Chains A and B, each alone.
Chain A
Amino acid sequence: MASERDTRLAVFAVNRFGLGVKADGIGGIADDIRERLREEVRTGLSAGTAVPQGGNTGLETSAALFRAWREREDFLRVARMPVRPDPGQPPTPQPGTPGLRVGGMEPNKPVGPMRVPGSTIPQATFLTEAAARMGFGLGPDIGFVERLVLFWSNHFAIATSKGGQVKTLAGAFEREAIRPYVLGRFSDMLLAVETHPAMLMYLDNQQSVGPQSQAGQKQRRGLNENLAREILELHTMGVGSGYSQADVTSLARTITGWTVAYNDTPNRVQGRFIFSAYQHEPGDHSVLGTSYRTGGAVQGQMALLDLARHPATAHHIARKLARHFTADTPDPKLVGRLERAFIDTDGDLAAVSLTLLEAPEAWREDTRKPRLPYEFLIAGLRATGRSGLDRPNAVNPLLSALNAMGQGLWDPSGPNGFPDTAGAWISAEGMTSRLETAAMLGRQAPGARNPNDVLANVLGPRASRETRVAVSRADSREQGLALLFMAPEFQWR
Chain B
Amino acid sequence: MSELCETITPSRRAILGTAGALFGWSFMPRFAYAAGGRDVRFVCIVLRGAMDGLAAVAPIGDPDYVGLHGDLALERGGPNPAIPLDGFFALHPAMPHFARLYGKGQAAVVHAVATGYRDRSHFDGQDVLESGQAGVGRTDSGWLNRLVAALPEGEAVARRGCLGVGAVAPLVVRGAAPVLGWAPPSLPPAGDDLARRLMDLYGQTDPVLAQALMRGVDTERLALASAGPNGKMAGRRGGPDTPQGMRQIAEGAARLLAADDGPRIAAMAFEGWDTHAREGGATGRLAQLLGGLDGAIQALETGLGPRWSDTVVMVVTEFGRTARINGTEGTDHGTGTVSFLAGGAIKGGRVIADWPGLKDADLYEGRDLSATTDLRAVTKGLLTDLFGVSAAALGRDVFPDSGLVRPMSGLIV
Q: B-contacting residues of A (Cβ < 8 Å)?
A: 94, 96-103, 397, 400-401, 404, 426-432, 435-436, 438-440, 443-444, 447-448, 450-452, 464, 466-467, 470, 473-480, 482-483, 486-488, 491
B212 near A479: Cβ-Cβ < 8 Å: no
Q: Known contacts A100-B180, A435-B198, A438-B190: does B50 contact A475 (CB below 8 Å)?
A: yes
Residue of A with least CB distance to B276? A473
Q: A431 to nearest B CB, angstroms?
A: 4
Apart from A101-B181, A431-B215, A483-B194, list 20 A-B contacts with CB within 8 A. A96-B255, A99-B184, A99-B185, A426-B209, A428-B213, A431-B216, A432-B190, A432-B219, A439-B190, A439-B191, A448-B127, A448-B171, A451-B123, A464-B205, A467-B205, A473-B197, A475-B274, A476-B126, A479-B197, A482-B190
Is B379 an interface residue when CB atoms closer than 8 A count as contact? Answer: no
Does A436 contact B216, Cβ atoms closer than 8 Å? no
The yes or no answer to B189 lying at the interface (CB within 8 A) is: yes
> Nearest Cβ distance between residue B413 and chain A, in whole angstroms?
30
> In the complex, which of the residues B182, B188, B212 contacts A427, with contact meaning CB atoms closer than 8 Å?
B212
Given the known interface contacts A99-B183, A474-B122, the answer about A447 and B139 at a Cβ–Cβ threshold of 8 Å is: yes
- B216-240, CB under 8 A of A: which get 1 and which 0? 1111100000000000000000010
CB distance from B19 to the nearest CB of A (A): 34
* Chain A residues near B123 (CB-CB < 8 A): 448, 450-452, 476-477, 480
Asked whether any CB of chain A lies closer than 8 Å to the CB of B116, the reply is no
Nearest B residue (CB) for A98: B185
Cβ of B273 within 8 Å of any chain A Cβ, yes or no, is yes
Complex interface residues of chain B between 216 and 272 (CB less than 8 A to chain A): 216-220, 239, 252, 255-256, 259, 269, 271-272
The answer to whether A488 and B209 touch (CB under 8 A), given A432-B216, A470-B197, is yes
Choose among B50, B124, B191 the residue with the greatest number of A CB atoms under 10 Å from its CB: B191
Q: Given A97-B252, A429-B219, do A487 and B201 touch, yes or no (CB 8 Å)?
A: yes
B178 CB, min distance to chain A CBs, angstroms: 6
A475 and B273 in contact, given A97-B252, A431-B209, A431-B212 (Cβ under 8 angstroms): yes
Q: Are B166 and A443 in contact (CB under 8 A)?
A: yes
By a CB distance below 8 angstroms, the chain B residues around A480 are 123
Of B49, B195, B215, B276, the contact of A428 (CB 8 Å cutoff): B215
Nearest-Cβ distance from residue A28 to partner chain B, whole angstroms:
24
Q: How far is the CB of A95 from chain B (nearest CB, A)?
A: 11
Tell yes or no: B21 within 8 A of A by CB.
Answer: no
Q: Pick 29 A–B contacts, CB within 8 A, sort by A.
A: A97-B255, A99-B184, A101-B180, A102-B178, A103-B180, A103-B181, A404-B187, A426-B209, A428-B212, A429-B216, A430-B216, A431-B212, A431-B215, A432-B220, A436-B187, A439-B189, A440-B187, A474-B197, A475-B48, A475-B50, A476-B48, A476-B123, A476-B126, A477-B126, A478-B271, A482-B194, A487-B201, A488-B205, A488-B206
Cβ distance B1 to chain A, nearest Cβ, rounded Å: 33
The distance in angstroms between the C-alpha atoms of A136 and B43, with both chains bound, is: 41
4 tightest Cβ-Cβ pairs between the two chains A and B: A475-B274, A475-B49, A439-B190, A428-B215
Q: How far is the CA of A477 from the CA of B139 in the complex (A)?
A: 13
Bound complex: CA of A401 vs CA of B185, how far in Å? 14
Secondary structure at the A interface, as helix, strand, loop or mixed, is helix
- Which of chain B's residues have a CB closer than 8 A to the CB of A102? 178, 180-181
A435 touches B179 (CB 8 A): no
A488 to B171 alpha-carbon distance, docked (Å):
29
B202 close to chain A: CB less than 8 A = yes
Known: A432-B216, A470-B200, A477-B123. A443 touches B167 (CB 8 A): yes
Could you mark each residue 263-295 of chain B with 1 if its beta carbon is under 8 Å from any beta carbon of chain A, else 0? 000000101111010000000000000000000
Find the B residue at minimum CB distance from A467: B201
Query: Please, which residues of chain B bring their CB within 8 A of the CB of A431?
Result: 209, 212-213, 215-216
**Beyond A103-B178, A426-B212, A474-B122, is A432–B217 a contact (Cβ under 8 Å)?**
yes
Interface pair B204/A476, CB less than 8 Å apart: no
- Report whether A436 and B190 are in contact in the complex, using a CB–CB cutoff of 8 Å: yes
Q: Report the bound CA distance from A432 to B180 in whole Å.
A: 30
Q: Which residues of A contact B269 (CB under 8 A)?
A: 476
CA of A106 to CA of B50, assembled, Å: 37
A residues in contact with B209, CB < 8 Å: 426, 431, 488, 491
* B262 to chain A: closest residue by CB: A94
Q: A96-B255, A431-B212, A466-B205 known; A444 and B187 CB under 8 Å? A: no
A487 to B201, CA, bound (A): 8
Q: Note all chain B residues with C-beta closer than 8 A to A426.
A: 208-209, 212
A428 CA to B215 CA, complexed, in Å: 5
Contact between chains at A436 and B256 (CB < 8 Å): no
Task: List chain A residues, Cβ under 8 A from B329.
Answer: none
Q: Give bound CA distance, A431 to B213, whole Å.
A: 5
With contacts A428-B212, A431-B213, A487-B201 taken as known, whether A440 is within 8 angstroms of B181 at the C-beta atoms is no
* A22 to B: closest C-beta gap in Å: 21
A475 touches B272 (CB 8 A): yes
With contacts A474-B197, A475-B122 taken as known, whether A443 is within 8 angstroms of B216 at the C-beta atoms is: no
A428 lies within 8 A of B182 (CB): no
The digit string for B150-187, where 1 denotes a CB below 8 A from any CB of A, is 00000000000000001110010000001111111101
Residues of A within 8 A of B124 (CB): 450
Determine whether the beta carbon of A470 is less than 8 Å from that of B201. Answer: yes
A397 to chain B, nearest CB (A): 7
Closest Cβ neighbor of A489 among chain B residues:
B205
Least distance between A490 CB and chain B CB atoms (Å): 11
**CA of A89 to CA of B384, assembled, Å:** 41
Chain A residues with Cβ under 8 A from B139's Cβ?
447-448
Tell me the nearest residue of chain A to B206, going by C-beta: A488
Q: Find chain A residues with CB under 8 A from B39 CB.
A: none
A96 CA to B258 CA, complexed, in Å: 13
Docked pose: A102 CA to B205 CA in angstroms: 43
**Chain B residues within 8 Å of A94, by CB:** 256, 259
Instruction: Please tell me if B193 contacts chain A, counting CB pairs below 8 Å.
Output: yes
A447 to B171, CA, bound (A): 9
- Nearest Cβ distance between residue A451 and chain B, in whole angstroms? 7
Residues of B within 8 A of A428 (CB): 212-213, 215-216, 218-219
CB distance from B135 to the nearest CB of A (A): 14
Residue of B nearest to A96 (CB): B255
Query: In the complex, which of the residues A435, A443, A478, A483 contacts B213, with contact meaning CB atoms closer than 8 Å?
Result: A435
Which residue in B166, B193, B215, B218 is a CB contact (below 8 Å) of A475?
Answer: B193
Task: Name the A residues within 8 Å of B50 (CB-CB).
Answer: 475
Q: Of A404, A427, A436, A438, which is in contact with the most chain B CB atoms at under 10 Å from its CB?
A: A436
Report yes or no: A439 in contact with B216, Cβ–Cβ below 8 A: no
- In the docked arrangement, what's the CA distance between A401 and B204, Å? 28
- Give the Cβ gap from B364 to chain A, nearest Cβ, in Å: 20
